[in-house]
Amino acid sequence: MIEYQNGIHLKGTELWFDSKKKVGLSFISNANIDKFTPPEKILATPETIKFLEKKIKKPVVLACPYYRPFALGSLQVELVPSGTMLGASQIMVDKGNKTLLYSGNINLNRLPTTQPAHTNHCDVLVMKCPFGLPGYKFPSFDQSMEDLIKFINETLSSNLTPVLVVEPLGKAQDIIKALDVKGFELSLEKSIYKFTKVYEDLGIGFGEYGLLKPSETEGKVAIIPPSELESEDIKNILRKRAIMLTECSEDEQSRIKSQYKVDEVIALSNHAGYEELIEFVDGVEPEKVYLIDENATLFAETLKERGFEVISLEKPTQLNLL
């Protein structure tokens, strides 16, 4: 039996998955989880733990690299890549008579700083599907980079500063890695700069980059998180063009441009879109699928049409699973 309430709890054990409340032991799938409340004990990859170390000063830490199965009480547990960012993982739980895979968010495409999601058969799949609608058909990372490089070159040719607005942990480092080889001078907002240094500590190499100084942006590419768009530092870059890089459908781009007051929007995703989510479930071949978070109900209908037994967990509930 599992309990779904501010996270997934495997009943009869102390194990939770991405718990958003204080619990005894929680698997943490990645360092970008929302509403993080440190549990008493954390199970995660060494990379995820490194990113969260300032938030987890007291909990006991169980660091587990990919593909290293181990016993957790009566359970056999293994972490495998989920593909969304460095250290992001899925957890496979073997109870002897049934296997459960909690995938969290997944990405099937290769990114510059991580590997794609591992696909493995299980009896029960519990997964997130925030982009489980047909409109979420994302370009490949390389396609998004082609559009971004065109924007950067056009902006620099106009003697303006390109300002790239992107999530500071994960997407930003993939972009920095991809732009390294193109010879651009990169100036990073301080949070992105700090996270990039952590990536280097974890063995991911980058070319040269510097800390963003608004008075020294001529000829450089500035990379900032959305939270800094209205900051005085960015306002002081008078001659600029800003572009937002985020998961979005074509229909959402106008709204995003207006909301964030940027000049352009490019769809850039480190999460599976609609077709990739279907591909992942087909590859896992579970007996049952449990979907959580937004769009779960609508994506459940898609999977049911493909012959899967599916339950949407948009509302907290308890279910008999194992």
CA 2/CA 322 separation, integer angstroms: 8
Which class for 257: exposed (0-12), middle (13-18), buried (19 or more C-beta within 10 A)?
Answer: middle
Query: Percentage of the chain surpassing pLDDT 90?
Result: 82
CATH number of this structure's domain 2-135+271-319:
3.60.15.10
Per-residue model confidence (pLDDT) at position 318: 43
pLDDT at 2 over 80: no
pTM: 0.93
Mean pLDDT of 131-160: 97
Greater pLDDT, 3 or 250: 250
At position 193, the amino acid (one-letter code) is Y
Q: Which CATH architecture has domain 141-267?
A: 3-Layer(aba) Sandwich (3.40)
At position 153, the amino acid (one-letter code) is N
Question: Considering only CA atoms, which of 236, 223, 219 is closest in space to residue 163?
Answer: 223
Per-residue model confidence (pLDDT) at position 59: 73
pLDDT at 316 over 60: no
Domain positions in the chain are 2-135+271-319, 141-267
Question: Beta-strand (E) ranges in the chain?
Answer: 2-4, 8-10, 15-17, 25-27, 41-44, 60-63, 70-72, 75-81, 89-94, 99-104, 124-128, 161-165, 186-188, 210-211, 221-224, 240-246, 264-267, 288-292, 309-313, 317-319
